């Protein structure tokens, strides 16, 4: 459920009509709802109630400082995957002790920064990374709390580009080699092995892969404890999917996911971490765009928007489906006709939807992409020298620009022309 509803014939974000924001900031823009972010975080809190747990919001899904602050004020930890995200989480007021560091290619500089600044744990993904971390920590006479990410070889049954838990994926160590790697880790100076980490993919719409992976993690916990490792923390990753299309295939609810967690690992007495991103931020955001032209083509009609693939790349990259709705509520009984909905970028891939039934839409109208709060603004680029889309946060009847649209000069002045030219 989200807080983007039609009221008096106009789509609102909480209590703010979207045309009011469009008039103030121009289109396109991203719009996030505080109430929706809050609601989604609390669903996970409820789902894990009774377990010693921490919800570490996956910063990469939407890393705006204001969004991170909303999360931090709710008591969230953070899952970061780069030095930049670590800096963002700290700048938003999250203490190091609530930040976990994931990622398959952490550099020594990133490790040093997190160790010195404070970190809850490193989720280590390989033996070379363990050795590097050991060296970085011992050089500073520090000890790095570590979980090792295991690859459980389960099929997450999601889009190939966001499945991470199969043996052929680059992530984690093969679970079959876990005992060996944990023994190595335990022998390394500066490494404090505290738990196990797993993350099998994103946009999972079925609980069975979670159940399979967490069952393997539970078995591994017992095995490693028998080997003498003090396994006291399990990081179970993120990945719970959201409904993008309004059909009957709704993904499982956090509460149902929580039951899987409790059933599979609840008896182990471990502190449980989860790293949800998309389920918290995805349906808490819209991308609002203006219609530039309605163009009749050969056997098809096009809606040409002022938003493009550089602003929201998910359709081009993952064949993602986004619900696209007019901001002005269609009249009851309106005639729907199919449109190809596209942006102005010079690539055929700049297509958001094909033959999408839409009610009558005219140039100048506003449309909203639903479920655009996760992996939207964070993946945007300035391809075609299109300025990064501004982001707006709504809270009840207030809204604020939380990242302004850069001017052309801002963009151009980032380049420097060498003195010999
Ligand atoms: C991307 C990622 C997440 C978040 O995934 P969502 O599908 O957005 O919940 C969590 N943990 C790790 C390690 C990730 O790479």
Kindly state whether residue 330 falls inside one of the protein's structural domains: yes
- Measured in angstroms, how far is the CA atom of residue 414 from the centroid of ligand 1? 31
Q: Among this protein's residues, is 31 annotated catalytic?
A: no
- Measured in angstroms, how far is the CA atom of residue 128 from the centroid of ligand 1? 23
Indicate if 162 and 250 belong to the same structural domain. Answer: yes
Q: Which atom of ligand 1 is nearest to the CA of 237?
A: 11
**C-alpha–C-alpha distance, residues 50 and 92, integer Å:** 28
The active-site residue out of 31, 56, 270, 346 is 346
Residue 203 · residue 374 · CB < 8 Å: no
Name the DSSP letter for residue 359: -
| pLDDT at residue 162, as a whole number | 77
Indicate if 126 and 234 belong to the same structural domain. Answer: yes
Instruction: Name the pTM for this structure.
Output: 0.96
Residue 92 · residue 72 · CB < 8 Å: yes
- Measured in angstroms, how far is the CA atom of residue 239 from the centroid of ligand 1? 6
Kindly state whether residue 369 falls inside one of the protein's structural domains: yes
User: What is the CA 397 to chain-centroid distance, rounded?
Assistant: 26
* Structure token digits, residue 357: 């039934």
Kindly state whether residue 417 falls inside one of the protein's structural domains: no
Residue nearest to atom 3 of ligand 1 (CA): 238
- Measured in angstroms, how far is the CA atom of residue 114 from the centroid of ligand 1? 19
Indicate if 313 and 271 belong to the same structural domain. Answer: no
Q: What is the dihedral of CA 57, 59, 63, 68, to 10 degrees?
A: 30
Which of 239, 314, 375 best tests ligand 1's pocket when mutated (most atoms within 8 Å of CB)? 239
With a 6 A CB cut-off, is 273 part of the ligand 1 pocket?
no
With a 6 A CB cut-off, is 277 part of the ligand 1 pocket?
yes
With a 6 A CB cut-off, is 61 part of the ligand 1 pocket?
yes
End-of-domain residue from the set 257, 280, 303: 280
Residue 40 · residue 264 · CB < 8 Å: no
How many domains in the chain? 2
Q: pLDDT digit string (tens) for 368-389?
A: 999 999 999 999 999 999 999 9
- Measured in angstroms, how far is the CA atom of residue 201 from the centroid of ligand 1? 7
| pLDDT at residue 248, as a whole number | 61
Q: pLDDT digit string (tens) for 163-215?
A: 787 777 888 999 999 999 999 999 999 999 999 999 999 999 999 999 999 99
- Measured in angstroms, how far is the CA atom of residue 200 from the centroid of ligand 1? 9
Kindly state whether residue 321 falls inside one of the protein's structural domains: yes
With a 6 A CB cut-off, is 58 part of the ligand 1 pocket?
yes
- Measured in angstroms, how far is the CA atom of residue 170 from the centroid of ligand 1? 15
With a 6 A CB cut-off, is 275 part of the ligand 1 pocket?
yes
Looking at 1-107, list the stretches that DSSP marks H as alpha helix, in order from N- to C-terminal side: 18-25, 34-47, 65-73, 83-91
Indicate if 235 and 168 belong to the same structural domain. Answer: yes
Which residues lie across from 32 on neighbouring strands? 285, 393
With a 6 A CB cut-off, is 276 part of the ligand 1 pocket?
yes
Indicate if 292 and 384 belong to the same structural domain. Answer: yes
Which residues lie across from 301 on neighbouring strands? 296
Q: Which atom of ligand 1 is nearest to the CA of 278?
A: 8
- Measured in angstroms, how far is the CA atom of residue 101 from the centroid of ligand 1? 12
Q: pLDDT digit string (tens) for 285-316?
A: 999 999 999 999 888 899 999 999 999 999 99
**C-alpha–C-alpha distance, residues 47 and 113, integer Å:** 33
Q: Which atom of ligand 1 is nearest to the CA of 164?
A: 15
Rounded CA Rg of the chain: 23
Q: Which atom of ligand 1 is nearest to the CA of 123?
A: 13
CATH of the domain at 295: 2.40.37.10
Residue 207 lies in domain: 34-280
Kindly state whether residue 159 falls inside one of the protein's structural domains: yes
CATH of the domain at 222: 3.20.20.10
Query: Which residue shows structure tokens 């974000």?
Result: 13
Indicate if 78 and 209 belong to the same structural domain. Answer: yes
Q: Which atom of ligand 1 is nearest to the CA of 103?
A: 13
Indicate if 267 and 300 belong to the same structural domain. Answer: no
Half-sphere exposure of 358 (CA within 13 A, CB side): 28
Looking at 152-235, list the stretches that DSSP marks H as alpha helix, in order from N- to C-terminal side: 178-187, 208-226
With a 6 A CB cut-off, is 79 part of the ligand 1 pocket?
yes
| pLDDT at residue 159, as a whole number | 80
With a 6 A CB cut-off, is 77 part of the ligand 1 pocket?
no
- 74 by Cβ neighbours in 10 Å (0-12 / 13-18 / 19+) ranks as middle
Looking at 167-207, list the stretches that DSSP marks H as alpha helix, in order from N- to C-terminal side: 178-187
| pLDDT at residue 299, as a whole number | 84
Indicate if 268 and 369 belong to the same structural domain. Answer: no
Kindly state whether residue 421 falls inside one of the protein's structural domains: no
Residue 218 · residue 264 · CB < 8 Å: yes
Residues 6+ apart with CB under 8 A from 180: none
End-of-domain residue from the set 249, 264, 280: 280
With a 6 A CB cut-off, is 40 part of the ligand 1 pocket?
no
Indicate if 329 and 345 belong to the same structural domain. Answer: yes
**C-alpha–C-alpha distance, residues 347 and 349, integer Å:** 5
Residues 6+ apart with CB under 8 A from 173: 125, 126, 127, 148, 149, 150, 151, 181
Q: Which atom of ligand 1 is nearest to the CA of 281?
A: 8
Point out the residues of the chain with pLDDT beneath 50: none
Name the DSSP letter for residue 238: -
Kindly state whether residue 113 falls inside one of the protein's structural domains: yes
Kindly state whether residue 358 falls inside one of the protein's structural domains: yes
Indicate if 61 and 165 belong to the same structural domain. Answer: yes
End-of-domain residue from the set 235, 261, 280: 280
With a 6 A CB cut-off, is 156 part of the ligand 1 pocket?
no
| pLDDT at residue 296, as a whole number | 92
Residue 188 · residue 144 · CB < 8 Å: no
Select from 148, 220, 219 the least CA-distant residue to 185: 148
């Amino acid at each position: 459920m989200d807080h983007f509803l039609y009221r008096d014939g106009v789509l609102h974000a909480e209590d703010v009509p979207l045309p009011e924001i469009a008039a103030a900031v121009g289109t396109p823009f991203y719009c996030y709802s505080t109430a929706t972010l809050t609601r989604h975080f609390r669903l996970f809190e409820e789902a894990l109630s009774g377990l010693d747990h921490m919800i570490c919001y996956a910063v990469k899904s939407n890393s705006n400082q204001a969004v991170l602050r909303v999360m931090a004020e709710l008591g969230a930890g953070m899952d970061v995957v780069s030095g930049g995200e670590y800096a963002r989480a700290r700048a938003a007021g999250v203490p190091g002790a609530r930040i976990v560091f994931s990622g398959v290619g952490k550099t020594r500089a990133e490790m040093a920064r997190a160790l010195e600044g404070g970190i809850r744990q490193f989720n280590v993904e390989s033996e070379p990374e363990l050795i590097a971390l050991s060296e970085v920590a011992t050089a500073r006479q520090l000890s790095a709390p570590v979980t090792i990410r295991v690859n459980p070889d389960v099929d997450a049954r999601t889009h190939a580009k966001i499945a991470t838990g199969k043996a052929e994926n680059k992530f984690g160590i093969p679970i079959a080699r876990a005992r060996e790697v944990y023994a190595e880790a335990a022998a390394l100076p500066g490494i404090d092995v505290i738990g196990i980490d797993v993350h099998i993919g994103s946009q999972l719409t079925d609980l069975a892969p979670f159940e399979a992976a967490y069952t393997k993690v539970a078995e591994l916990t017992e095995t490693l404890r028998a080997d003498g490792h003090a396994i006291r923390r399990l990081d179970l990753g993120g990945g719970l999917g959201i409904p993008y299309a309004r059909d009957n295939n709704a993904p499982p609810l956090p509460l149902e996911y929580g039951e899987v967690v409790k059933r599979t690992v609840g008896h182990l007495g471990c502190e449980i971490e989860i790293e949800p991103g998309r389920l918290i931020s995805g349906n808490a955001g819209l991308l609002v765009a203006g219609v530039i032209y309605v163009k009749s083509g050969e056997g098809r009609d096009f809606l040409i928007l002022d938003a493009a693939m550089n602003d929201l790349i998910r359709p081009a990259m993952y064949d993602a489906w986004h619900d696209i709705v007019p901001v002005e509520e269609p009249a009851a009984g309106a005639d729907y006709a199919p449109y190809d909905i596209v942006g102005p970028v010079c690539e055929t891939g700049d297509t958001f939807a094909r033959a999408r039934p839409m009610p009558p839409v005219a140039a100048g109208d506003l449309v909203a992409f639903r479920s655009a709060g996760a992996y939207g603004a964070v993946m945007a680029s300035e391809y075609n020298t299109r300025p990064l889309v501004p982001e707006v946060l709504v809270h009840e009847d207030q809204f604020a620009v939380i990242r302004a649209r850069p001017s052309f000069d801002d963009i151009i002045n980032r380049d420097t022309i060498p003195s010999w030219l």
